[in-house]
Amino acid sequence: MAVVFERRLAGKLYQVRTAGQSVRLYTNGVFHSQYSPSSRAATSMWDLLSMPALLATGARPASVLVLGVGGGAVLRKLSELFDDPYIVGVELDPVHLDIGRRFFGLDRPNIELVAAEASAWLENDTRRPFDLVIDDLFSDSEHEPRRAVPFDAAWLARIAERLTPGGAVAVNFAELGEFTASAAGRLVHGDGPWRCGYSLRLPTLLNVVAGFGRQPVPMVDFVTGIGDTFGHRAAADVSVRRFPRRRDGRGRSRSTVNRRR
């Protein structure tokens, strides 16, 4: 692995490393982003974060809000897969935005980058709603990534305010327990505005991505869409589970897991 960029600023060490065709961002040794042009799409956390885009209206979001840009791998991926939708990326660390422009291909006309704290930005921004909101808000704690904002009912409500009627949400959780305890993990199917929900995992990662939307998307359509958009090898790698669990007449929960192809 080669270090192609290194900078120390305000007590932080920023590094951009390359391995083959992949580009990775590390801040104080914490792995923040990875982009790879490989046809094998499901190789990283940020590939998973792109997949709930298929839960938005028409399975092709025209506008995306990304809270927590890092190096910007998910912004680059969405731009390539969905023909340059309008993307706003909000990131607390301006150095990450500079790195994103220089090394992750974020200097594109469809991408607007904003250096701001996500909660304050949501409070003050009044622009149009988005078809997809991605929450990847993490900070460093003892050289380990931790969610910067708890994904509780209040935070979910704030995100929901920024969605179009057929919009979808994608959220990154560090591990299964964090997801289960979150507002996403406690949603009840069919209650309120949420009509579908799926968790996505890779066998090589602890992270869980939750994707849920305001329109019903059957699992077979979602999994087929992953194969068509990201490649069938990617669809075979990703484990997809429906949430929240439906309740049958006997009060027992049911869930479905994507079978490997």
- Closest to 214 measured CA to CA, from 48, 58, 75: 58
Give the model's pLDDT for residue 188.
Answer: 60
Give me the pLDDT at residue 133, please: 98
**39-254 CATH fold:** Rossmann fold (3.40.50)
pLDDT exceeds cutoff 70 at 253: no
E strands of 137-219, at which residues? 138-141, 144-147, 163-173, 196-201, 208-213
**Structure confidence at residue 256 (pLDDT):** 38
Predicted confidence band at 254 (pLDDT cuts at 50, 70, 90)? very low
* Local confidence band at 158 (pLDDT 50, 70, 90 cut-offs): very high
Q: Which pLDDT score, from 0 to 100, does residue 248 have?
A: 46
Rounded-to-integer distance, Cα 204 and Cα 110, Å? 32
Dmax (CA) for the chain in angstroms is: 59
Which token pair is 105? 């291909």
pLDDT-derived band at 245 (thresholds 50, 70, 90) equals low
Look at residue 131 in the predicted model and tell me its pLDDT. 97
- Cα distance from N-terminal residue to C-terminal residue, the chain: 32
Q: What pLDDT shows up at residue 42?
A: 59
Residue 91 has pLDDT above 80, yes or no: yes
User: pTM for the complete prediction?
Assistant: 0.90
pLDDT digits (tens, 9 = 90+) for 163-215: 999 999 999 999 999 999 999 887 765 556 889 999 999 998 999 999 999 99
| Residue indicated by tokens 């890092």 | 70
Mean pLDDT of the chain: 87
Mean pLDDT value of segment 115-132: 93
By C-alpha distance, which of 189, 210, 190 is closest to 200? 210
